[in-house]
Structures are given as C-alpha cells and as structure tokens.
C-alpha cells in the first residue's frame, strides 16, 4: 500500500481558501486533514463549523478531522452531517473512550484515537482492535510548524508491534513536524498516513511537495 498523504489545512491561506482547496483537489493528496481547536484542550483556537461547511462543499477529498477539543462526543452528529470520513478524538480528552469510538462508527465514520507525545502507546491496548486508525502526535498539539519530537520514531515502531500482535487493522497516522527528512524515517518505521501542514503549504510548489511525500513508500 502506498503512503496516504493528508495535507493539514491549518497552514493554508485562509484569505483565499478556495484556491488552496482547488490545489488539494488537483493534487495527489489522499485526504484533507482538518484541525479543530477549542482553546481549552490546546492553547489555541482554529476554525469551526461555518468554515468547515465551505471546506466540505468545495473539497473533493475525504475529510480527516482531528478534534483537539474537550468532550468531543458532543459533536459526533455535527461532523457526520458534514460528510466527514475520519473522526480523530484525543485519548486524553475522552472519559468513556470505548463508547465514543463506537458512537463514531455507528454514525458511519471511521474512528481514530489520537495520542499526545506524553501518552504511552500501551494505553491503547484495550481499544486497538476497535479503532480504524491511531494518530500519533509527533509535536505537542496546538500549532503548525513545530519541531518534530525524535522519540516519536520509537513510538511508531511500538505501535506497529501492538497492531501486528493483536491483529488490529488500524492505520498509523502521524501529525506534526513531518517534512522531507522525517517522513522517510517515519514510513520506514511503519507509518501509513502522513499529515503535513507547513511542508506542503510553505513550499513554492505545494502540489510537487505532496507528490514527493506520496512517493516515499
Ligand atoms: C497541530 C496540528 C497539525 C498541524 C501540523 O496541532 O494537529 O495537524 O497542522 O503542522 P506541521 O505539519 O506544520 O507540523
Ligand atoms: Zn492535526
């Protein structure tokens, strides 16, 4: 399977979002990654439903939503209504994670659990068979353009082992500091899905940057 590439809209030009969405549609990107922040779970606020409505309207790629919010279970239905494909909730934000995973699936979306850099992979042992994807944060969530946390490579390997040992079908996605130097190492360690904001949107040719990331498998 070739590497799935999901550009993160957080680094796009919000003054001309249509242009960047058209670039994504033309490109080899597989999904579009959307970062929702509430200023409580993370020390930043991004964008919400009024923006998402238009992103969903103009983007032709599946939407991979990363919820950096407290009590994400409150909004499952709203994301289903938008036609979202993948809904990522943080392990650290869910008191009843098992229930939340099944609610997402019962609403027809793929369910993913996200781990902060400080949360160990072993915390997933009781949900790994139930999730469609695990998103490993490779920076502390909240901002684009941060430096990759090196320990993440070991974490990817550990997660790959857990998935193989349990027969889980979960994909491994990474998010934060993914660039042309870290991406090949992440793919070799077992990553299936690369999220990339800054590397794609600050490139002089974003479509070519997406193509380069795609060809890493
Ligand atoms: C950070 C977000 C990321 C962000 C990644 O909290 O979850 O999706 O856009 O940005 P880069 O690729 O620039 O590190
Ligand atoms: Zn993200």
Question: What is the pLDDT at residue 119?
Answer: 98
Question: What is the pLDDT at residue 199?
Answer: 98
Task: Point out which residues pair with 96 in neighbouring strands.
Answer: none
Q: E strand or H helix at 213, and its extent?
A: helix 206-214
In the predicted structure, residue 182 carries a pLDDT above the cut 70: yes
Å from CA of 167 to ligand 1 middle: 29
Q: pLDDT tens digits, residue range 80-130?
A: 999 999 999 999 999 999 999 999 999 999 999 999 999 999 999 999 999
Q: pLDDT tens digits, residue range 35-46?
A: 999 999 999 999
Question: What is the pLDDT at residue 36?
Answer: 98
Number of domains in the chain: 1
In the predicted structure, residue 63 carries a pLDDT above the cut 70: yes
Q: Which atom from ligand 1 is nearest to the alpha carbon of 33?
A: 8
Question: What is the pLDDT at residue 216?
Answer: 85
Q: Which atom from ligand 1 is nearest to the alpha carbon of 144?
A: 10
Q: pLDDT tens digits, residue range 191-216?
A: 999 999 999 999 999 999 999 999 98
DSSP symbols for 175-206: ESS--TTHHHHHHHHT--EEEESHHHHTSSSH
CATH number at 63 reads: 3.20.20.70
Mean pLDDT of 174-191: 98
* Confidence class for position 217, pLDDT limits 50, 70, 90: low
> Do you know the residue count of the chain?
217
Q: E strand or H helix at 37, and its extent?
A: strand 32-37
Active site residue 175: yes
Beta 193-196 vs 63-68: how paired, if at all?
A: unpaired
Ligand 1 first shell, C-beta below 6 A:
8, 10-11, 33, 35, 66, 139, 141-146, 175-178, 195-199
In whole angstroms, give the CA distance from residue 107 to residue 40: 26
Q: Residue 88 belongs to what domain range?
A: 4-214
Give residue 42's region: left, alpha or beta (phi > 0; psi -120 to 50): beta
Active site residue 35: yes
Please provide the average confidence, as pLDDT, over all residues in the chain.
98
């Amino acid at each position: 399977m070739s590497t799935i590439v999901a550009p993160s809209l957080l680094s796009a030009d919000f003054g001309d979002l249509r242009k960047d969405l058209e670039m994504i549609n033309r490109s080899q990107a597989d999904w579009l990654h959307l970062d929702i922040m509430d200023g409580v779970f993370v020390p930043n606020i991004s964008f919400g439903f009024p923006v998402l409505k238009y992103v969903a309207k103009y983007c032709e790629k599946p939407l991979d939503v990363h919820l950096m919010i407290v009590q994400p279970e409150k909004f499952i239905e709203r994301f289903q209504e938008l036609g979202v494909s993948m809904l990522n909730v943080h392990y650290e934000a869910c008191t009843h994670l098992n229930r939340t995973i099944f609610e997402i699936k019962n609403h027809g979306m793929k369910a993913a659990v996200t781990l902060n850099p400080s949360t160990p992979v072993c915390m997933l042992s009781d949900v790994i068979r139930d999730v469609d994807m695990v998103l490993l944060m490779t920076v502390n969530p909240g901002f684009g353009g941060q430096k990759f946390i090196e320990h993440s490579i070991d974490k990817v390997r550990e997660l790959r082992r857990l998935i193989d040992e349990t027969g889980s079908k979960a994909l491994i996605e990474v998010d934060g500091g993914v660039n042309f130097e870290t991406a090949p190492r992440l793919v070799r360690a077992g990553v299936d899905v690369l999220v990339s904001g800054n590397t794609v949107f600050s490139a002089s040719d974003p479509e070519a940057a997406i193509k380069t990331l795609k060809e890493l498998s």
